[in-house]
Amino acid sequence: MKAAYPRILLKLSGEVLAGDAGFGIQPAVLRGLAEEIRDVHALGAEIGIVIGGGNIIRGVTAASEGMDRSTADYMGMMASIMNGVALQDALEALGLPTRVLSALEIQEVAEPYIRRRAVRHLEKKRIVIFAGGTGNPYFTTDTAAALRAAEVHASVVLKATKVDGIYSADPEKVPDATRYERLDYREVIEKNLQFMDQAAISLCRENHLPIVVFDMTVPGNIRKVVAGETIGTVVGA
């Protein structure tokens, strides 16, 4: 089996690392995620990863509770760097070549993000973890994922979630919500479907980047998506 997408950008939420604890980093969850990524790497795909920091702090939530938005967002960026370094450690424990490139300069723990360097790492089959968001407040890690995917000319953005695709409404609150198998960017914007922020969707649309939204809690799903199996919802032109 070979990869259907030669270069992917995998978007992970920080919350996934917390497992059932709901906060922090659970080593068992981290190991399981690293093993899933190892299986994708074995397909020959070049892998870029953007990971959030919501298991440590969410900038929007902190801002809504009175913290300055810029301060809260910078704290969220630093949390994503912590998660990136943790994921790097788990991947390297499995013998995978990995680099963390950060939009915020912390040279003791991560390389600064330089686009050409990132592309070179990918070409050498190193797994590149893009940490620190975009390096700017008021932008989500969804936008960071779309931006990095466009910059390194990824084939697809894989949005890993806890649901099996995009629905017309929250399926937990609306049991008869419609699940979509395929959407175009225009439909997503018109229907105001809340699976990524509008800036990220617009970036993907402008750069002709397809988005696959799928359930990563099912073991093996990341590998199946990269191999080209029909899982989740595909958003494209």
In tens, the pLDDT along 1-35 reads 789 999 999 999 999 999 888 889 999 999 999 99
Model pLDDT, residue 179: 93
H-helix or E-strand spanning residue 102: strand 98-102
* CATH at 70: 3.40.1160.10
Is residue 2 assigned to a domain?
A: no
- The structure tokens listed for 163 are 């649901």
- So what's the pLDDT on residue 121? 98
Whether residue 145 contacts residue 11, with contact meaning beta carbons closer than 8 Å, is answered with yes
* Phi, then psi, of 105 in degrees rounded to 5: -80, 115
- Say if 209 falls within a structural domain: yes
Number of domains in the chain: 1
Which DSSP letter does residue 174 get? -
Task: Return the structure tokens found at 124.
Answer: 């050498």
**pLDDT at position 20, please?**
85
The secondary structure of residue 181, as a DSSP letter, is: S
Output the pLDDT for position 43.
96
Query: Is the residue at 33 inside a domain?
Result: yes
Please indicate, yes or no, if residue 82 is contained in any of the structural domains: yes
Q: Which residues make beta-bridge pairs with 159?
A: 11, 213
DSSP lists the bridge partners of residue 200 as none
Range of the domain at 218: 7-236
Is 111 a domain residue? Answer: yes
Residues of the chain with pLDDT under 70: none
Spatial distance between the Cα atoms of 55 and 74, rounded to a whole number of angstroms: 15
8 Å CB contact between 25 and 79: no
Q: How far is CA 85 from CA 25, 78, 109, 210, in A?
A: 11, 11, 8, 28
Prediction pTM value: 0.94
Residue 23 lies in a domain: yes
Whether residue 1 lies inside any domain: the answer is no
Distance CA 33, CA 80 (A): 16
